[in-house]
Amino acid sequence: MSAVRAARRDIGVAERTVPAMLGAQAQRYGDRPLVQFEDNPSRSYREVREHAARWGGMLQAAGVGAGDRVAAMCANREELLFLILGCGWIGAIAVPLNTALRGAQLEHALNNSEPSFLMIDADRVSALHTAPGIAHRPTLWLVDDEPVDIPDGWSATDLPTLRAPVSAAAVRPSDTMVILYTSGTSGAAKGVLCPHAQFFWWAILTIEGLEIVEGDRLFTVLPLFHTNALHCFFQGLLSGSTYVFGSRFSASKYWEQVSRYDADVLYVVGAMAAILLERAPTPHDRAHHARVALGGGTPARMHAPFHERFNVSLVNGYASTETNKVLGLDVGDPRIDTMGTARDEFDVMVVDEYGAPCPDGTAGELVVRGREPNILASGYFKQPEKTVEAWQDLWFHTGDRVVRDPDGYFQFVDRMNDAIRRRGENVSSVAVEDVLNAHPHVVQAAVVPVPSELGDDEILAVITTDAADFDPIVLLRFCETRLAYFAIPRYVRVVDDFPLTANGKIRKQVLREIGVDDATWDREAAGFVLTR
């Protein structure tokens, strides 16, 4: 470990907060560029600290105080980042929402978090029309200066102007910085309480894992409402680097962007890697100097072709919104078929259904606890029963089945519950089933993951119906205003009845084993296009 990298670990426990980290790094790096959103002018370390303090002043003038929630539903843009940092500056809590939320999922997120305000861009206002059950309706802050159709019963105003900078609040590392909604097996998404210090450790562990050095340029097109892109900002902050955000992933433009933004370090998910590899070669493929990419979830079979074609090394690992970079591989580690080994900052164990340790080579649930204060999330917002369930015996139960090899490497086996991972998003099968079962001609629905050619999951909906001639297209159109686009099934199969257990539950394992057969309708093969 270099002296520069080791020095970042010297930040004291009490200083692992947004105000303290911004202040220390602004003093160290001053006018060095810290963040840039696509082709907009970059913001220096000093400017980012100043803007966080000014956004804090704006929030306080609007009546936002410590512990209050402020939500946002925006694409990647600097206003979203500064809202998050401004909340952190004054001890408020930012709630960045997935821009694809619709219907009951959006209703739950806003009713659960009860924000004072919702900052929203013009392209997302229409989502509010799909969610009439929002009982708690915050004042809308409109980011864009263009006409929008505000739903009845909502009040809206332009985003307030920035105020003079205010002093930072006395924020503690254990205070919640953001609430991030993540799907599970229940229909209601869980709002993960992420403390300030969790992002310090996200940054430290990823900086070291990717061998980021001072002066690097980091580039992501992943959304800021997920922990991946958000903790990448802190990687830039704590490593003395520059972090460049793209607005969204475009396979046709990606490598040209990597070159144009002079990127050294990249961030991809498995589906992105697969899509890039599927494209015809172009002169941009190697016309850059990026050297490494965080590629968690990328299948081992893609690593060598990716490096050969793009000259970028993919680095695998394991993390979740509730945890941190728990498992990881070092750059160049040949065990790309695994999730890596446990990082020193965690106790990691594989347990059976009774919570007893499994011997090496035996599959069980991965459980985690931190050795450093506030390195993990602190629970679920307003869901104490879910918090107790997940943190059994003071270990966080991940819900993932893994195997520990005798040499300390961990291998992923499958998910232990009904969660589905599609295009880098977690999807609750129960939430999808609730929507499908609401269709007037669906008698019963079951949703299961099936393998995707992109390396994660596709969604298969198996239904029984009372319609003589059921049209899957009608069903998917029904889903479009009620589900995020990534949660809408790709496959639909109509059956006469379901395989059942002795107590009448659907045997989903049987449905997964059957998978996609000749009787399954495929929207991609049918040429069906979702309206986003």
CATH number at residue 437: 3.30.300.30
Domain end call among 220, 248, 276: 248
- Give the residue from 248, 267, 299 where a domain finishes: 248
The predicted model scores a pTM of 0.84
Domain final residue, candidates 248, 263, 290: 248
**What span, in angstroms and rounded, lies between the C-alpha atoms of 76 and 5?**
28
Confidence tier at 532 by pLDDT (50, 70, 90): low
Give 125's DSSP letter: H
State the average pLDDT over residues 189-204.
96
Phi, psi of 182 (to 5 degrees): -130, 145
Give yes or no: residues 70 and 115 share one domain. Answer: yes
Mean pLDDT across the stretch 113-132?
Answer: 96
pLDDT of residue 195: 98
513 and 460, same domain (yes or no) = yes
Over residues 25-33, mean pLDDT? 97
- At 112, the amino acid letter reads N
| Contacting residues for 73 by C-beta, under 8 A, at least 6 apart | 96, 97, 99, 101, 118, 119, 120, 121, 124, 127
Is residue 105 domain-shared with residue 221, that is, in the same domain?
A: yes
Structural domain containing residue 71: 3-248
Query: Which segment, 131-135, 274-278, 436-440, is predicted with the most confidence on average?
Result: 131-135
154 or 269: which carries more pLDDT confidence? 154
CATH code: domain of residue 335: 2.30.38.10
Q: What CA–CA distance (Å, rounded) separates 208 from 279?
A: 31
Q: How far is CA 166 from the centre of its chain?
A: 31
Q: Do 403 and 368 belong to one domain?
A: yes
Over range 448-474, report the average pLDDT.
Answer: 86
pLDDT tens track for 222-247: 999 999 999 999 999 999 999 999 99
Cβ atoms 243, 29 nearer than 8 A: no
**Contact indicator for 72, 127 with CB cutoff of 8 Å:** no
For residue 413, the model assigns a pLDDT of 76
pLDDT at position 365, please?
94
Read off the pLDDT of residues 201-218 as tens digits, 9 standing for 90 and up: 999 999 999 999 999 999
pLDDT at 428 over 80: no
Q: Is the model's pLDDT at 199 over the cut of 80?
A: yes
Mean pLDDT of the chain: 91
179 and 36 in a common domain = yes
- H helices of 91-131, in order, are 103-113, 125-128
Q: How far is CA 6 from the centre of its chain?
A: 28
Shared domain for 115 and 239, answered yes or no, is: yes
Place of tokens 């589905």: 420
Q: pLDDT, tens digit, for every residue of 365-381?
A: 999 999 999 999 999 99
| One domain for residues 354 and 457 | no
- Within a 10 A sphere around the Cβ of 441, how many other Cβ atoms? 14
Rounded to the nearest 5°, which phi and psi values hold at 10?
-80, -5
Assess whether 163 and 234 both reside in one domain: yes
Residue at 434 is within a domain: yes
Q: How many domains does the chain have?
A: 3
Same-domain pairing of 389 and 497: no
Q: Are 491 and 460 in contact (CB under 8 A)?
A: yes
In a domain, 268, yes or no: no
- Do 383 and 493 fall into the same domain? no
Q: Are residues 375 and 444 in the same domain?
A: no
Same domain for 509 and 446: yes
492 contacts 520 by C-beta, under 8 angstroms? yes
